[in-house]
């Protein structure tokens, strides 16, 4: 990539899009484990302030969402399909749900959006959770069976498939629980459940083979949450020991994939005694994370160091804010990091912003990550200035220089 007088260009074919997850935008996902958790108001490890309910009603309004993204200038859309809808009861596969998600793939293609399909984004069917989740006998084979059943959805027209979203977070919170709305990513994450982590790695490898059996042309990978562990003086060994089970084992499991998804939002500083909170004077986002757009550059470089010669795609990056000018500022900083990584020779293939829509952030609607606002009563969509700005960059594929 060669800088020009106009700015920092992104390569031809670069994925330029936004991401969503089914449970967070569809609404009424009544057969999932998360819906059940919401009705109870939480669990022993978390409380849920708000239920997902109708969410953004994107199960019905996906054409409007895609129309907006395509019209704004985006070329790619990452969305997930819901296992609990496709297999609402064990062994029963809904032809209607499969047809619905196939219509979404076709709708994206018709609008000039390249679909990236995620097969599992935190939620699982209620029946799967009740039989013991990922560590139950035969669990990974059941996931493999579900993946095979998605053939009508992903078999044609889908270039990129993500098997499992952020397995390291799923393992840390036990099966499929919340990503965390405030402290978990700030004060340091506990050790992942090793049995769940091992099962998710096995499930990923099984799913990769199942997808390739559907079509060898599909590029398969998974996404890992990168916490950007930064060692303070004297904390290098502590940082390495902290990072490896929480992140690197899942990156290592991607070796042999077609690509790896990098997901980064903020950083975690590590001192000799472990994780430290954000500096007292740090700007914080609506969910309490430190405003630190440089995290994405660190995440890309660390991921590349671990996975080796494997294409990188930024599958999530964004900020929870009610000040859209700060979203533009944050994203500008993050994209500068992507451009610098490209200039340094890293094989970065795309940038997909989190999120296309303001959505249900695993217990609350308050952290607004979306490029597009959604009225909770009428479901009216209103693109924010950041949406037009970021979509416009997708048309030119050139990031203006600082101060330009």
Q: Flag whether 74 is in a domain.
A: yes
Domain count, the chain: 1
Q: Flag whether 133 is in a domain.
A: yes
Q: Per residue of the chain (404 residues), give pLDDT as tens.
A: 554 556 889 999 999 999 999 999 999 999 999 999 999 987 755 678 899 999 999 999 999 999 999 999 999 999 999 999 999 999 999 999 999 999 999 999 999 999 999 999 999 999 999 999 999 999 999 999 999 999 999 999 999 999 999 999 999 977 334 334 334 443 467 889 999 999 999 999 999 999 999 999 999 999 999 999 999 999 999 999 999 999 999 999 999 999 999 999 999 999 999 999 999 999 999 999 999 999 999 999 999 999 999 999 999 999 999 999 999 999 999 999 999 999 999 999 999 999 999 999 999 999 999 999 999 999 999 999 999 999 999 999 999 876 55
Domain residues for the domain of 258 are: 7-400
Q: The tokens of 59 are what?
A: 């199960």
Q: Flag whether 53 is in a domain.
A: yes
Q: Flag whether 340 is in a domain.
A: yes
CATH number of domain containing 182 = 3.20.20.80
Q: Flag whether 2 is in a domain.
A: no
Does residue 77 contact residue 69 with C-beta atoms inside 8 Å? yes
Q: Flag whether 1 is in a domain.
A: no
Does residue 316 contact residue 352 with C-beta atoms inside 8 Å? yes
Q: Flag whether 27 is in a domain.
A: yes
Q: Flag whether 11 is in a domain.
A: yes
């Amino acid at each position: 990539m060669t800088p020009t007088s106009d700015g920092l260009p992104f390569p031809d074919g670069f994925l330029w899009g936004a991401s969503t997850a089914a449970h967070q935008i569809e609404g009424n996902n009544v057969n999932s484990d998360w819906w059940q958790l919401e009705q109870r108001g939480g669990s022993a490890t978390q409380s849920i302030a708000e239920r997902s309910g109708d969410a953004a009603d994107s199960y019905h309004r996906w054409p409007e969402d895609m129309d907006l993204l395509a019209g704004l200038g985006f070329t790619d859309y990452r969305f997930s399909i819901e296992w609990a809808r496709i297999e609402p009861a064990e062994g029963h596969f809904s032809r209607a749900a499969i047809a619905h998600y196939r219509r979404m793939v076709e709708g994206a293609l018709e609008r000039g959006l390249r679909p990236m399909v995620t097969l599992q984004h935190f939620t699982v069917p209620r029946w799967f959770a009740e039989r013991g989740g990922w560590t139950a006998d035969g669990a990974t084979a059941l996931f493999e069976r579900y993946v095979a059943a998605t053939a009508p959805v992903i078999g044609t027209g889908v270039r990129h498939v993500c098997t499992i979203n952020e397995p390291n977070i799923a393992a840390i919170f036990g099966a499929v629980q919340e990503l965390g709305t405030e402290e978990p990513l700030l004060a340091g994450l506990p050790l992942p459940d090793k049995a769940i982590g091992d099962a998710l790695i096995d499930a990923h490898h099984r799913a990769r083979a199942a997808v390739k059996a559907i079509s060898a042309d599909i590029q398969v990978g998974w996404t890992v949450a990168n916490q950007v562990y930064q060692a303070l003086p004297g904390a290098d060994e502590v940082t390495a020991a902290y990072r490896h089970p929480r992140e690197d084992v899942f990156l290592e499991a991607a070796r042999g994939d077609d690509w790896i998804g990098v997901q980064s939002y903020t950083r975690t500083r590590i001192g000799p005694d472990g994780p430290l909170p954000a500096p007292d004077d740090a700007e914080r986002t609506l969910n309490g994370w430190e405003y630190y757009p440089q995290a994405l550059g660190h995440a890309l470089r660390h991921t590349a160091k671990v996975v080796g010669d494997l294409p990188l795609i930024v599958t999530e990056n964004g900020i929870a804010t009610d000040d859209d000018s700060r979203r533009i500022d944050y994203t500008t900083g993050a994209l500068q990091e992507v451009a610098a990584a490209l200039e340094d020779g890293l094989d970065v293939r795309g940038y997909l912003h989190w999120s296309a829509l303001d959505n249900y952030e695993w217990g609350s609607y308050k952290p607004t990550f979306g490029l597009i606002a959604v009225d909770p009563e009428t479901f009216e969509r209103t693109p924010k200035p950041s949406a037009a700005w970021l979509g416009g960059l997708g048309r030119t594929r050139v990031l203006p220089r600082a101060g330009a």
